[in-house]
């Protein structure tokens, strides 16, 4: 049974509204609590970060203070070490002065006891500077070429040439002495007709090989360079313009390494005439082979490209179309 005033058509709607209001208030309270918790957490994080920053700053400051103390300590140690070194130097200088004074007193004492006594060890020494003339590079280099003047480059070239010629001469003399060849006898070049007679004359046999590789190569290079210079001089006088005239007057078989230049007696450089395949120099032959290889490569590339295009047209385009 319903009490008076209860029930009716709007009773349920009023109860629902009341419940909805209570639920809304509850949700608002929950949101407020949530916001309060978030705010507390944020404040806590801020405090932690501030404390962390403070700790870092304190540690940094502490490190800086330690470094400053360390630097001060090092500076003090350095100053102390310098003072000790200065004191040590001063003591050594005093010791030296005392030693010199003692030696001087001994020398004076000996001189008084023996009037005719002279000793370079006991008497004090005096330093006498004698002026020595400086070595003039231009004077050491010798006179310049006719019609020219000395420059730093020509002086250097001349000194280098003199050094190399002196070294060559010493080496040649040493090797001649080792081989037992007198300086008065001429040195025939390797491959010359007189070489066999020379070997027979000095008793050269196959089981006792001649110590040849060094001195014969050196003399051969020098001889070829001198003959090349003479040939050039002759060609200039004749006005022919050929620099290699008269070079191959003797049938010489070169026992030289694979070189491209020979040094002349005057320190210059000459092109060596070492023939390659079919009379073509090795360098020229290499260039020809390289050019031929490039041409063949291009021709083969074009041929392969053409074949590929034909195959593509025949097998692919034909089926598509």
Q: Note the pLDDT tens digit of each residue in 119-138.
A: 444 444 445 455 545 556 66
Residue 114 has pLDDT above 90, yes or no: no
- What would the pLDDT profile of 210-247 be if each residue is shown by its tens digit? 444 444 445 555 666 676 677 777 777 766 444 343 33
pLDDT band at 85 (very low <50, low <70, confident <90, very high): very high
**Per-residue model confidence (pLDDT) at position 210:** 44
Between 196 and 315, where is the model more confident? 315
HEC readout, 229-279: HHHHHHHHHHCCCCCCCCCCCCCCCCCCCCCCEEECCCCCEEECCCCCHHH
Other beta carbons less than 10 A from residue 49's beta carbon: 10
Q: Give the least confident one: 24-33, 199-208, 257-266, 300-309.
A: 257-266
Average pLDDT, the chain: 69
Distances (CA, A) of 95 to 100, 102, 120: 9, 10, 22
CA atoms lying within 13 Å on the CB side of residue 177: 6
Beta bridge partners of 271: 261
C-alpha to C-alpha distance for 220 and 179, rounded to whole angstroms: 16
CA angle at 227 for the pair 222 and 233, rounded to the nearest 5°: 130
H/E segment holding residue 94: helix 11-113
Question: Tens digits of per-residue pLDDT, 167-205?
Answer: 777 876 776 665 556 677 666 555 555 555 555 555 544
Within 13 Å, how many C-alpha atoms sit on residue 229's CB side?
13
Q: What is the tens place of the pLDDT at every residue in 49-81?
A: 999 999 999 999 999 999 999 999 999 999 999
Measuring CA to CA, which residue among 264, 262, 263 is closest to residue 272? 262
**pLDDT at position 298 over 90:** yes
- Determine whether 216 is exposed, middle or buried from the number of CB atoms within 10 Å of its CB (0-12, 13-18, 19+): buried
Least confident of 35-39, 169-173, 256-260, 306-310: 256-260
At residue 112, does pLDDT exceed 60? yes
Tell me what pLDDT residue 272 has: 39
Q: What is the pLDDT of residue 16?
A: 81
pLDDT at 80: 92
Q: Which of 83, 85, 91, 123 is nearest to 107 (CA)?
A: 123
Q: Which residue has the tokens 């050929």?
A: 242
């Amino acid at each position: 049974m319903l009490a008076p005033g209860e029930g009716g058509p709007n009773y349920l709607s009023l109860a629902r509204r009341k419940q909805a209001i209570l639920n809304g208030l509850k949700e608002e309270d929950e949101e407020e609590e949530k916001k309060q918790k978030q705010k507390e957490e944020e404040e806590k994080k801020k405090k932690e970060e501030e404390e962390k920053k403070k700790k870092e700053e304190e540690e940094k400051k502490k490190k800086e203070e330690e470094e400053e103390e360390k630097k001060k300590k090092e500076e003090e140690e350095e100053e102390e070490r310098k003072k000790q070194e200065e004191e040590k130097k001063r003591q050594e200088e005093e010791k030296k002065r005392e030693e010199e004074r003692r030696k001087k007193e001994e020398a004076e004492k000996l001189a008084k006891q023996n009037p005719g006594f002279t000793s370079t060890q006991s008497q004090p020494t005096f330093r006498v500077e004698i002026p020595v003339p400086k070595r003039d590079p231009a004077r050491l280099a010798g006179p310049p070429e006719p019609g020219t003047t000395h420059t730093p480059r020509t002086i250097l070239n001349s000194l280098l040439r003199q050094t190399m010629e002196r070294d060559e001469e010493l080496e040649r003399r040493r090797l001649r002495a080792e081989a037992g060849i007198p300086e008065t006898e001429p040195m025939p070049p390797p491959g010359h007709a007189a070489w066999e007679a020379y070997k027979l004359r000095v008793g050269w046999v196959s089981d006792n090989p001649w110590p040849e590789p060094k001195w014969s190569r050196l003399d051969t290079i020098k001889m070829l360079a001198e003959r090349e210079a003479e040939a050039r001089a002759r060609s200039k006088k004749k006005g022919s313009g050929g620099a290699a005239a008269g070079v191959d007057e003797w049938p010489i078989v070169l026992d030289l390494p694979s070189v491209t230049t020979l040094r002349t007696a005057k320190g210059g450089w000459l092109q060596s005439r070492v023939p390659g395949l079919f009379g073509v120099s090795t360098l020229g032959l290499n260039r020809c082979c390289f050019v031929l290889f490039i041409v063949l490569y291009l021709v083969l590339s074009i041929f392969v490209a053409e074949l590929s295009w034909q195959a593509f047209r025949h097998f692919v385009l034909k089926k598509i179309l």
